[in-house]
Amino acid sequence: MTVIIYTHSACLAHDMGAGHPERPERLKAVQAALDRPEFAGLPRHEAPRASKEQICRVHPEAYYEAIEEVAPTEGLVQLDGDTAMSPGSFEAALRAAGAVCAAVDAVMDGSASRAFCAVRPPGHHAEPKRPMGFCIFNNIAIGALHARAQHGIRRIAVVDFDVHHGNGTQAAFWADPELMYVSTHQSPLYPGSGAVDERGSGNIVNVPLPPAADSVAFRHAFERGVLPVLDEFAPELVMISAGFDAHARDPLAQLELQTEDYHWATAELVRIALRHAGGRIVSTLEGGYDLTALTESTTAHLSALTA
Ligand code: ZN
């Protein structure tokens, strides 16, 4: 199965300062997975920059311009308590969002069945009008709206198994019943949203898990709370917010997932995509802060995507 990889060296030049967990070494850990021999044959492409038009399907123009305006030429600019821009950040953010749009184009025009975007900054906390939680532009929401605008498909599902709730994607999709957002996440945990009763227009499905929930609890919740609603929605495109910070080794959260859980969950999503979406999946990196877990989990995720 052809899986196209999109990445860009510019994503290594976004640097929020010494000691920040969302650091360039994360992308190197993901690249270590991509460099494994079993993935040597996967086509790789440089991520293009997202256009302002693509980004502004999710974010107001005033937001885009404010981010462009504050981007520093030296030093760091704080966007919120834990999100900053360095001189390389704006370019990285454009490439991250552009990767997802290009990945959508590749699976929609049939050049590949699935695609994985190895990019940072992540996106799922970025709300239409607010940068947040290491995120500047909401890459996956931008990709979803690009799929609809450019390729005319209607029902798009984003599945988010990052340990944090993707408040930004939820906010972007809230009033749009043709865009489904389904999230498993630890609760309580940052950013505090993601309760079961946050339903949007019936298109938002939150599956919170308590701290210390393990593989069994995760798989049970995924089987009960995620897969049936996806089957019922019958998406024409499946998109994955692939954060690997629910792994037991991750320092920022307290779930106890194992590496094999990412293979299992991805394989289940491949089945959903084959049933409804012609097999089409676009996956993009979100969180994951233990470098060993990140390499192993990305390997597991890719091996299921390529199966
Ligand atoms: Zn996360």
Distance 255 CA to ligand 1 centre (A): 11
In angstroms and rounded to an integer, the radius of gyration of the C-alpha atoms of the chain is 17
Average pLDDT per block of 10 residues along the chain, 307 residues long: 94 97 98 97 98 98 98 97 97 98 98 97 98 98 98 97 98 98 98 98 98 98 98 98 98 98 98 98 98 98 97
Distance 148 CA to ligand 1 centre (A): 26
Residues with CB under 5 A from ligand 1 (ion): 162, 164, 243, 245, 287
Distance 242 CA to ligand 1 centre (A): 9
pLDDT at 239: 99
How, if at all, do strands 237-242 and 204-209 pair? unpaired
Whether 125 sits among the annotated catalytic residues: the reply is yes
For residue 110, the SS3 value is coil
Active-site residue, from 125, 164, 165, 263: 125
Distance 107 CA to ligand 1 centre (A): 26
Distance 201 CA to ligand 1 centre (A): 25
Which residue in 279, 236, 263, 286 sits closest to 115, CA to CA? Answer: 279
Distance 244 CA to ligand 1 centre (A): 7
Integer CA distances (angstroms), 213 to 208, 210, 254, 259, 306, in order: 10, 6, 8, 15, 28
